[in-house]
Structure 1
Amino acid sequence: MTTVAEHPSTHRSCDVLVVGGGINGAGIARDLAGRGLRVVLCERDDLASHTSSASTKLIHGGLRYLEYREFGLVRKALQEREVLLRSAPHIMWPLRFVMPHAPAMRPAWMIRAGLFLYDHLARREWLPGSGSLDLRGHPAGEPLKRGYALGFIYSDGWVDDARLVALCAVDAAERGATVLTRTACTRATRHDAGWQATLRPATGTGTEVSVTARALVNAAGPWAEQWLKHAARNADGQPPRERRSLRLVRGSHIVVPRLFTHELAYIFQAIDGRIVFAIPYERQFTLIGTTDIEVAQPDGAEVCSDVEANYLCTEVNRYFRTEVRPEQIVWRYAGVRPLLEDHAGDPKAATRDYKLELDVEGAPLLTVWGGKITTFRKLAEQAADQVCAALGEPRPGWTHDAFLPGGDLSAFIGPATRPDSDFARFVQTVEQRHPWLPPTLTLRLARAYGSRIDRVLTDARGEAANHLQSLGEQVLPGLYESELRYLRQREWVQSADDVLWRRSKLGLHTTAEQQQALHDWFATPPA
């Protein structure tokens, strides 16, 4: 994997420079690299440091968007669900959602109508459709207050959002892209024949690099508008014209000890007309979110406020028998969503769709406005189509039927059938091949790395490990040096937080004292 520090040359040339290492930037870099273009992706921080690791972690059509007549967006997202679930069954899987009916909220007929549309706006091959439940005799009713008798159930999917970004970047790099993390694009000047950009690595991590690119993609997420104004310049010294603007909305989540033992998720109708999810998370926890708080600008260090945490507790307490109190929160996180400015009065009504703005007044500049994780692949495909056309090199898309790294399980299980059962068979095969691995470690590694698990299970010489001791020092419970070497060498990991909160969620399962050992490990230069 490439970093600025590994390249003493202070100048690089490419076909496309992609600014931003969130899901859209990583997805676009992957798609372009797979079409044979020379790509450089730069990200100011770690991959998925901000919005793309702070989502509700769902692959979903957006049931509530039907209320705002966002039929095109919902259809587009529904079409992508099974495409994505097939591409990476280790980090994405189907999830059934239960909506208890609160008579004072949306009427039952409206919910049934919405679910009918949700089932039929796009073709489903294997995800089950919606239905109704008698919560009085169903496991989903056990954690709920006794007043909830009728419920509705439907399908969507779950994704490890931060790992999705990392795997897109890995795929891009393996297809020839240069991925530079902790490297900001501080200046990009446009000329008729291309862009001249300055990439500045974080203090003390490398040398400033000049990049010449034939085209530039602005995928800076919440910072897309700021970046155009402050870093991009036409040949006359003026910033490129903006035809769009962003509405920035903070979404916050809380994590509490597990509130129910089954594997279904809940979607609750909140008193203000919003919806709140309660989702099984990391085996021992429940994830609750989200909020919609308008902000003036992103600061890169967003936090879930006490007001938002109290709001989420209050709303789920209207449904669950066991009271959720703010002092029970074990983790909270927040991210700023870059929504298209559509002048909707209420942030919850603002569109979650995206627009791609192609400016060819000189060298091509493509700016990504908005977007959501579920539609990232389609967005990237459309963006790559436009960039290739602008460069006079139209090349076909390829990602629709492609696996993400680790997603092709056929070497372990033979031909694929359906993603959820395929993954279960894969775990059984890993257990048979590596009986010395503890079951919890087997499952975590299988989830994180899929069919690339054997690349992680190597000793210091790169040979296949055959017992726990050969994986090196156990730096944290269940985290060995072999995995850390892999992450450092293959996934641009440079700090303990990269591991604890993005490449994994081990931060939830370890104490501050244990985490310090990981910080100490990264403080020691690699041998």
Structure 2
Amino acid sequence: MDTNAPALPLQGPLYDVVVVGGGINGCGIARDLAGRGARVLLVEQHDLAAHTSSASTKLIHGGLRYLEYGEFGLVRKALQEREVLLRAAPHLIQPLTFVMPHDPGMRPAWMIRIGLWLYDHLARRELLPASTALDLRQHPAGQPLRDGWTRAFAYADGWVDDARLVVLNALDAAQRGAVVAPRTRCTGLQRHAQHWMVTLQPDGGAPATVRTRAVVNAAGPWAEQLLREHAGLPPRRHLRLVRGSHIVVPRLFAHDAAYLLQARDRRVIFAIPYEQRYTLVGTTDVEHHAGLDAVAIDADETAYLCAEVSRYFRRAITPDDVVWHYSGVRPLLDDEHGNPAAVTRDYRLELDTAGAPLLTVWGGKITTFRTLAEEAAQRLAAPLALRGAPWTRAAPLPGGDLERVVGPCATPMQALQRYRAHLQRRWPWLDAAVVHRWARAYGTLALDWLEPAREPHDLGRQVAPGLFEAELQHLHRREWARDADDVLWRRTKLGLHLEAAQRAAVADWLQRLPPPDKPLVPLERGAGCH
């Protein structure tokens, strides 16, 4: 399906639901509703996953540290989702072992053992191993650590490319009939008894108005602003905006496990293998009071992360070692807790039916996006008379149907291994690193451009090392990529591996493409709501 193809205008009530916000929650809700037969329009003011949803620690996890704050319901819900998502996207989500060096001055061993026992038993596990104790004097995980760290605990969670997870949800929504319109700002919401009039401003296009039976406010950090400024409604809840920043440094260790480090302020910091040559370090929890369009790490955050990591590793890091950094604002549901790190990561859904339905999403975390979306669709089912049943629990995300190619497998991890080997056998002239990246990023979606290829020439020009025109065409035509940031820093992480001239070549290639056909969405032309 070509996401640039123009859509034909529809008559009457154009949509059942307009979802405002192209982060993980908005795209997950659009996917779930489209799969139930609803007519859905998803609008996002910038690129998909341009903000919070591409700035996470990239974990599919229960949240071990939330147990300390008594968030047992949230942890159980998230733990239940880990293996659901591992099966839904075996190409994109993989198990990851975490090593937690024990600092007896922070938390006693008995407390950690109890926490890990709960973590092992709050939800059923079939794919992930139970926690265990480690002797760092004997275990490889102890080698990169400073002397004095002799004891650790290990447990398993999952890792995900967060921005690609968002895009795959949007792609699945589009494949099920939703219209997905990035770079389309919602500038007005006018409520009537039975419908909403939604004013939209596409980039480079004329303002337009669409009619919908319901609106979902999944605007993340902008949720309160959307209600106040565009719908004229006073928010019943409030968000606490907390900035989380991460740094990327040259690789601190050679093995495949990650570390959970106890910081001196009793927070936890992750050090995670990243893009083969690097280590991802994060995150911070800082109250954010500045604007939302240009969120960036500050010098204090960088110094904090470097200092805490350097307490543990033999190779100390300084701000000069940072090769990349990113920051996002978490829209946390304000529970009036004094410590930003202790503010709940759970979500609330608020359905307002004083007129046409309005569902607002407050808070949330990436691991629970599917259950949030399912609950949102269930809440809208009655007012919209939707007959479709819940369906996403057992449905693969696009590219995740690996067993269709390699046959039945014992685990999702085995399916990925077999799929990667299949690609290498079928296209032996491809570089192994490219095969590995395509298998993990795209799964079976890569077959769209690989199946017709008999030699490297069939993939088009290599615009940058390992980046062929065939992949760029896919990203542009099917995944809504428009500029170099979309490609290099969200849908792939090749920006880390390319030199400035190579990144410029990718930008130039994208700029030479014709603009997408207009209109991107079926619009009722008009200057505003009526």
Q: Which residue of 2 aligns with 1:194?
A: 195
SS at match of 1:435: coil
SS at match of 1:151: strand
Q: Which residue of 1 aligns with 2:130?
A: 129
- Verify: 1:390 aligned to 2:383, yes or no: yes
CA-to-partner distance for each residue in 1:281-301, whole Å, 9 max, x for gaps? 000100000000001254222
Whether the aligned pair in 2 keeps the contact of 1:2 and 1:180 (CA below 8 Å) is no
Cα pair distance change 1:53/1:75, threshold 3 Å: same
Code of the aligned partner of 2:53: S
Q: Which residue of 2 aligns with 1:224?
A: 223
Provide the C-alpha distance between the structure 2 equivalents of 1:147 and 1:200, rounded to a whole number of angstroms.
Answer: 59
* Deviation, structure 1 residue 6: 3.4
Provide the C-alpha distance between the structure 2 equivalents of 1:209 and 1:443, rounded to a whole number of angstroms.
Answer: 43
Matched residue count: 514
Name the % identity: 60
CA-to-partner distance for each residue in 1:333-370, whole Å, 9 max, x for gaps? 00000000000001001000000000000000000000
Provide the C-alpha distance between the structure 2 equivalents of 1:295 and 1:10, rounded to a whole number of angstroms.
Answer: 42
Q: Which residue of 2 aligns with 1:17?
A: 18
CA-to-partner distance for each residue in 1:81-101, whole Å, 9 max, x for gaps? 000011001110000100000
* Deviation, structure 1 residue 470: 1.5
Whether the aligned pair in 2 keeps the contact of 1:223 and 1:298 (CA below 8 Å) is no
CA-to-partner distance for each residue in 1:273-332, whole Å, 9 max, x for gaps? 100000000001000000000012542221111110110000000100011111011000
- Verify: 1:518 aligned to 2:519, yes or no: no
- Verify: 1:361 aligned to 2:360, yes or no: no
Whether the aligned pair in 2 keeps the contact of 1:10 and 1:208 (CA below 8 Å) is no
Whether the aligned pair in 2 keeps the contact of 1:248 and 1:296 (CA below 8 Å) is yes
Provide the C-alpha distance between the structure 2 equivalents of 1:244 and 1:391, rounded to a whole number of angstroms.
Answer: 24
Describe how 1:428-447 pairs up with structure 2 within 5 A. Answer: 428-447=421-440
Code of the aligned partner of 1:89: P
Q: Which residue of 2 aligns with 1:284?
A: 277
Whether the aligned pair in 2 keeps the contact of 1:2 and 1:179 (CA below 8 Å) is no
Provide the C-alpha distance between the structure 1 equivalents of 2:432 and 2:4, rounded to a whole number of angstroms.
Answer: 39
- Verify: 1:248 aligned to 2:241, yes or no: yes
- Verify: 1:6 aligned to 2:9, yes or no: no
Code of the aligned partner of 1:319: Y
* Deviation, structure 1 residue 4: 8.8
* Deviation, structure 1 residue 499: 0.2
Describe how 1:300-319 pairs up with structure 2 within 5 A. Answer: 300-319=293-312
Q: Which residue of 2 aligns with 1:101?
A: 102
CA-to-partner distance for each residue in 1:372-423, whole Å, 9 max, x for gaps? 0000000000000011122133431100000000001112210132111211
Q: Which residue of 2 aligns with 1:236?
A: none
Q: Which residue of 1 aligns with 2:528?
A: none
SS at match of 2:14: strand
Code of the aligned partner of 1:367: T
Whether the aligned pair in 1 keeps the contact of 2:38 and 2:386 (CA below 8 Å) is no
Provide the C-alpha distance between the structure 2 equivalents of 1:297 and 1:342, rounded to a whole number of angstroms.
Answer: 21
SS at match of 2:350: strand
- Verify: 1:381 aligned to 2:374, yes or no: yes
Whether the aligned pair in 1 keeps the contact of 2:83 and 2:125 (CA below 8 Å) is yes
* Deviation, structure 1 residue 8: 8.1
Describe how 1:108-257 pairs up with structure 2 within 5 A. Answer: 108-202=109-203, 204=204, 206-232=205-231, 239-257=232-250
CA-to-partner distance for each residue in 1:425-467, whole Å, 9 max, x for gaps? 1111111111111000000111111012111326xxxxx0111
Describe how 1:260-271 pairs up with structure 2 within 5 A. Answer: 260-271=253-264
* Deviation, structure 1 residue 66: 0.3
Provide the C-alpha distance between the structure 1 equivalents of 2:326 and 2:274, rounded to a whole number of angstroms.
Answer: 14
Provide the C-alpha distance between the structure 1 equivalents of 2:3 and 2:258, rounded to a whole number of angstroms.
Answer: 40
Q: Which residue of 1 aligns with 2:520?
A: none
- Verify: 1:482 aligned to 2:480, yes or no: no
**Residue from 459, 465, 480 that aligns with 2:453:** 465
**Residue from 329, 338, 362 that aligns with 1:345:** 338
* Deviation, structure 1 residue 7: 5.0
* Deviation, structure 1 residue 193: 1.1
CA-to-partner distance for each residue in 1:31-56, whole Å, 9 max, x for gaps? 00000000000000000000000000
Q: Which residue of 2 aligns with 1:293?
A: 286
Q: Which residue of 1 aligns with 2:492?
A: 504
Whether the aligned pair in 1 keeps the contact of 2:4 and 2:477 (CA below 8 Å) is no
Cα pair distance change 1:482/1:51, threshold 3 Å: same
SS at match of 1:137: coil
Provide the C-alpha distance between the structure 1 equivalents of 2:184 and 2:92, rounded to a whole number of angstroms.
Answer: 27
Whether the aligned pair in 1 keeps the contact of 2:200 and 2:208 (CA below 8 Å) is yes
Q: Which residue of 2 aligns with 1:235?
A: none
Select between 512-521 and 164-173 the one with higher mean Cα deviation.
512-521
CA-to-partner distance for each residue in 1:461-485, whole Å, 9 max, x for gaps? xxx0111122111111100111111
Provide the C-alpha distance between the structure 1 equivalents of 2:237 and 2:119, rounded to a whole number of angstroms.
Answer: 30
* Deviation, structure 1 residue 242: 2.0
* Deviation, structure 1 residue 125: 1.1
Code of the aligned partner of 1:227: L
Provide the C-alpha distance between the structure 1 equivalents of 2:56 and 2:35, rounded to a whole number of angstroms.
Answer: 27
RMSD: 1.5
Provide the C-alpha distance between the structure 1 equivalents of 2:170 and 2:491, rounded to a whole number of angstroms.
Answer: 13
Whether the aligned pair in 1 keeps the contact of 2:352 and 2:359 (CA below 8 Å) is yes
CA-to-partner distance for each residue in 1:63-85, whole Å, 9 max, x for gaps? 00000000000000000000001
Q: Which residue of 1 aligns with 2:61?
A: 60
* Deviation, structure 1 residue 130: 0.3
Code of the aligned partner of 1:520: D
Provide the C-alpha distance between the structure 2 equivalents of 1:241 and 1:346, rounded to a whole number of angstroms.
Answer: 26
- Verify: 1:452 aligned to 2:445, yes or no: yes
Code of the aligned partner of 1:22: G
SS at match of 2:98: strand
Select between 38-47 and 390-399 the one with higher mean Cα deviation.
390-399
Cα pair distance change 1:427/1:2, threshold 3 Å: closer
SS at match of 2:329: strand
Provide the C-alpha distance between the structure 1 equivalents of 2:273 and 2:446, rounded to a whole number of angstroms.
Answer: 24
Provide the C-alpha distance between the structure 1 equivalents of 2:4 and 2:212, rounded to a whole number of angstroms.
Answer: 17
Code of the aligned partner of 1:6: P
Q: Which residue of 2 aligns with 1:420?
A: 413
Q: Which residue of 2 aligns with 1:461?
A: none
Whether the aligned pair in 2 keeps the contact of 1:406 and 1:450 (CA below 8 Å) is yes
Provide the C-alpha distance between the structure 1 equivalents of 2:167 and 2:283, rounded to a whole number of angstroms.
Answer: 24
Whether the aligned pair in 2 keeps the contact of 1:187 and 1:198 (CA below 8 Å) is yes
Cα pair distance change 1:61/1:497, threshold 3 Å: same
* Deviation, structure 1 residue 121: 0.7
Whether the aligned pair in 2 keeps the contact of 1:254 and 1:333 (CA below 8 Å) is yes
Provide the C-alpha distance between the structure 2 equivalents of 1:436 and 1:21, rounded to a whole number of angstroms.
Answer: 38
Provide the C-alpha distance between the structure 2 equivalents of 1:9 and 1:63, rounded to a whole number of angstroms.
Answer: 49
Provide the C-alpha distance between the structure 2 equivalents of 1:201 and 1:123, rounded to a whole number of angstroms.
Answer: 45
Code of the aligned partner of 1:129: A
Provide the C-alpha distance between the structure 2 equivalents of 1:5 and 1:132, rounded to a whole number of angstroms.
Answer: 55
